Structure 1
Amino acid sequence: MPALSDALAGWRARAEALVGRVPLGVEAEAIGRVRSISDGVAMIEGLASVRLNELLRLPGERMAYVLTLETDHVGCVLLDAEEGLGAGDIVRGSGEVVRVPVGPGLLGRVVDPLGRPLDGRGPIVAERHDPAERPAPPIIERDLVSQPVQTGILAIDALFALGRGQRELIIGDRALGKTAIATDTMIAQRDSDLICVYVAVGQKSSSTARAIEAIRAHGAPQRTVFVVAGAADAPGLQWLAPFAGFTIAEYFRDRGQHALVVVDDLGKHAAVHRELALLTRQPPGREAYPGDIFYVHARLLERAAKLSAEKGGGSLTALPIMETEAGNLSAYIPTNLISITDGQIVLASKLFYAGLKPAVDIGLSVSRVGGKTQNPLLRRAAGSLRLDYAQFLELEAFTRFGATVDARAQAQITRGQRIRAALVQAQYAPLSLAEEIALLSALQAGVLDAIAVERVAAFRAALPGWLAGAGQRFAAAIDAGALNDALLAEMIAALRALAAGLAAA
């Protein structure tokens, strides 16, 4: 019997130790069932306590988020494929909203809107998970947009400068170079401190892969995050993608750094939002879009801001892209986005097909903020460039009817032809600030008027080598912001000699 008593005492001790380690109590879990499911949307019943945008867990480790709350059911959007799901499947509430991994571990990676890796390089090491939907910074936490974003594209930096914290819409018809402008802007940040986030929404896999490879080949992929929700992905992922991209970028902004987000494109995002709204029985409005489509894009783009010094002084710049049909800027979604953003870069098909790339329409494009942020030396070099070019376009249209012009008008036409030739720029070849200022100074001083229009491209191609060699001290003065009038006069004289040498060649 003593042995039995000792055994019972040992069992009792082990049981008491086990009870001390295992928490005892009541654990509540919200469980519902699928009523119906189709086209990426499921109707769930039995989840009376879930919240809007709450994350739901479905069989097979699949997820969805709540989009609508009805009296007897909730409408949720699937974030994974719906194959294998059906009516009667159990759905569990998580009590959490949709969250996105953020942190330096995402730099250089290709992920989906939930932060799951798509590049085959192993799991993502996240610092934390932030909500995909976050409120925009209030006015009191913002500062003036005062620092420039150098895109490396002369037509934009000289005429429609962008500022850090600005929202500039890139808009135009299909295949006119909208994504090219955005990717060139990201490539130009290889020598800056801007961290870039490229968000692909509903794009073809080949188009997305082409943009990613271009940035990897020519830019700084180690400071870029790629968020991809392709055309074949679930509509819920496509809807979530822009919000996830902004959350990833806000992590860096809130640490006092500077970030740039490209959303390609919001037109497809609006179409996905309309699709989900119609499937969840929301009342349609103009062009079948739900009434909250303006609010969806406004609350997204308002998250781009320049923070005050008390909040770290970081910035988040947004370059949303919108595809139009037949150049119709007055359609519903384009007018919404134009009214939300701080300006737009409009691409014209007639310029594109004439070989004038980037095909920026200077009459319809505008930047409502960036002119105040433009580099002072660049602003002085650009001078009256936009006015001169606009006057040239009017004169050129007038002379097409065979009208004769005086010497002054002919000089304007000569100058305008050189301006147009100088604004033509190859893809993946962003200009440095020194190259832009040197080229604009040559234009304004009439240096290029003495050479043939066909030689302007050769002059521009010769500038980088000249600035790295004979003009190195001018480039250093530009980078230091110390290009005074005397140095400017010397630089123009040297550029005149360079142009004369090209003209004689």
Structure 2
Amino acid sequence: MGVTDYNGLLDDTFDAFAKHRENHSFDLAPKEVGHVTSVSAGVVKVSGLPNVGYEELLKFPGNLYGIAFNIDEDEIGAILLGEDSELNAGDLVERTNRVMDVPVGKALLGRVIGPLGQPMDDKGPISYEKRLPIERDATAIMDRSAVSMPLQTGIKVIDALIPIGRGQRELILGDRQTGKTAIALDTIVNQKDKEVICVYCAIGQRASSVAKVIADLKENGAMAYTIVLVTEGNNSPGLQYIAPYAATSIAEYFMQNGKDVLIVYDDLTNHARAYRELSLLLKRPPGREAFPGDIFYIHSRLLERSTHLSDELGGGSLTALPIIETEAQNIAAYIPTNLISITDGQIYLSPKQFELGILPAVEVGKSVSRVGGKAQLPAYSAIAGDLKLGFSQFEELETFARFGSHLDEETRSILEHGKRIREILKQNELQPLSVAEQIGVLLALTNGLFDTISLENMREAEMAVIKSIANLPEEVLNSFSSSKEVNESGQESMLTASKTALKAFQEAEQLPK
């Protein structure tokens, strides 16, 4: 072939390429590609990506993603966000030049999703307004406001004695099967018609447990204002690790739009274990109880995102109810003590009270709210002092009363009153009470109206008081949840209605048996 013919062939080739380029778009940007050197359970080692950033999203074959976690000189330790069964040493890895993000928006309400934003219900693809990174800086101190509004749980013992404010972080802890999730669910159900959006984040839970939670939420009409984000126990530890951060970003979208949001992390014990597994596989040095040294920072940077925004930023709030599991009532273990120090109080559930049928099994002596008291409604504040005093005196005397048969009249009176406090503080699951109903029952209790009624009839007597309160004028009932001052006339009306309702029970007790 002559030189002229060869040049003509090149010209034809370039012309064909130019025409093809006009009809097709080419991504000519250089891509940084590495390869997998080893695969472990949920963790891979990668080489050949010298410019990768910390927590950058990496793309693996089969539409599998991971997060760069260990940035060493010669290799990268990455956390996989999915199953590693199809991944082998030598597979190519691409940088994405972005961090992990999650879809957010109003369309997520009523949906069940995974931590990657994938739908896990039968309602079709997820529609969203935008995507937010799962790791975001916590709100600056100057952009926060004090906790000033209560978040009503509908549970008497909590709203009266361990109140929670909007923007607070209140830890729920206790042994297995003591009703931790039940308290969180009651709180979500109680937000109906209160303009509070709820996010329930299940971390490493059994599929059957998650299905029951979703069924309870649907049955009580709570899914309309709730988003459920799920990772199951058989999911990879990487998915369990990112789940609470993804759920928090979804909640923050609503908070930054001026909404009040409640988020439940169920539970952070599984989250800590997943992170410990990943850290040990990545050869990070173990510390106390084999947890890595930064486990405190992992949870603190998560929970610090819960706050009450200033009015200039819309005044939205994010209230967190993290749940953790203790072993043999040991609240001095590493993870419980970490989270107690991060949060603004804790609700401790006692297995002893659970076994005795005292539900919810809240142990008032070990439970505390360091912030919520300032946001508590005045009607509760007026009652809470007498209630706490009477209950603490009862608990102190009850132990000693078992050893003595001769008790003076005052001690006997304190014990009988305390038994009725404990009986009234019992409450069935998924039956939250309104503010007015709680105030009415607790007013009758602190004024001694239940003291002459036998313990066997306490449940019926309580229901009679609740029914009598429902007949009071609407403005009286509403005043307790909106008033900035104690409504003394409303309290008098409640006490009068309660006395009338309990009269039949008191007369029945006086009849000869």
TM-score class, shorter-chain normalisation, is: over 0.9
- The reply on whether 1:387 has 2:389 as its aligned counterpart is yes
Distance 1:344 1:485 in 2: 32
- The reply on whether 1:486 has 2:489 as its aligned counterpart is yes
Q: Which residue of 2 aligns with 1:244?
A: 246
Distance 1:476 1:73 in 2: 63
1:55-454 equivalence runs, <5 A:
55-454=57-456
Q: Once the 2 structures are TM-superposed, how far is the Cα of residue 257 of structure 1 from its aligned partner?
A: 0.5
Distance 1:225 1:477 in 2: 31
Q: Once the 2 structures are TM-superposed, how far is the Cα of residue 305 of structure 1 from its aligned partner?
A: 0.5
Which is further off, 345-354 or 474-483?
474-483
Which amino acid letter does the alignment assign opposite residue 332 of structure 1? Y
Which amino acid letter does the alignment assign opposite residue 201 of structure 2? V
Q: Once the 2 structures are TM-superposed, how far is the Cα of residue 471 of structure 1 from its aligned partner?
A: 6.2
- List structure 1 runs of 4+ shifted beyond 4 angstroms: 11-26, 470-473
Distance 1:66 1:305 in 2: 29
SS of residue in 1 equivalent to 2:198: strand
The answer to whether the 8 Å contact 1:195/1:259 transfers is yes
Distance 1:14 1:85 in 2: 39
| 1:348-396, Cα deviation, whole Å (9 max, x unpaired) | 1111101001111111100000000001112113332112101011111
Distance 1:133 1:321 in 2: 20
The answer to whether the 8 Å contact 2:441/2:462 transfers is yes
The answer to whether the 8 Å contact 1:103/1:128 transfers is yes
Q: Once the 2 structures are TM-superposed, how far is the Cα of residue 478 of structure 1 from its aligned partner?
A: 2.6
Distance 1:403 1:256 in 2: 60
Report the TM-score when normalising by structure 1.
0.94
The answer to whether the 8 Å contact 1:189/1:219 transfers is no
Distance 2:407 2:474 in 1: 41
Distance 1:460 1:25, change over 3 A: closer
Which amino acid letter does the alignment assign opposite residue 32 of structure 2? A
Name stretches of at least 5 consecutive residues in structure 2 with no aligned partner. 1-12, 509-513
SS of residue in 2 equivalent to 1:57: strand
Q: Once the 2 structures are TM-superposed, how far is the Cα of residue 244 of structure 1 from its aligned partner?
A: 0.6
Which is further off, 382-391 or 128-137?
382-391
SS of residue in 1 equivalent to 2:415: helix
Distance 1:419 1:407 in 2: 18
Distance 1:143 1:437 in 2: 28
Distance 1:470 1:102 in 2: 43
Distance 1:148 1:473 in 2: 20
Aligned length in residues: 495
1:462-501 equivalence runs, <5 A:
462-470=464-472, 474-481=476-483, 484-501=487-504
SS of residue in 2 equivalent to 1:225: strand
| 1:186-240, Cα deviation, whole Å (9 max, x unpaired) | 1111121111000111111111111111111114211100010110011100000
Q: Which residue of 1 aligns with 2:505?
A: 502
Q: Percent identity?
A: 46
The answer to whether the 8 Å contact 1:474/1:483 transfers is no
Distance 2:249 2:61 in 1: 28
The answer to whether the 8 Å contact 2:169/2:344 transfers is yes
SS of residue in 1 equivalent to 2:451: helix
Report the TM-score when normalising by structure 2.
0.93
Name stretches of at least 5 consecutive residues in structure 1 with no aligned partner. 1-10
SS of residue in 2 equivalent to 1:209: helix
Q: Which residue of 2 aligns with 1:5?
A: none
RMSD between aligned residues: 2.0
Q: Once the 2 structures are TM-superposed, how far is the Cα of residue 180 of structure 1 from its aligned partner?
A: 0.6
Which amino acid letter does the alignment assign opposite residue 38 of structure 2? S
Which is further off, 419-428 or 395-404?
395-404
Which amino acid letter does the alignment assign opposite residue 159 of structure 2? D
Q: Once the 2 structures are TM-superposed, how far is the Cα of residue 467 of structure 1 from its aligned partner?
A: 2.8
The answer to whether the 8 Å contact 2:150/2:166 transfers is yes
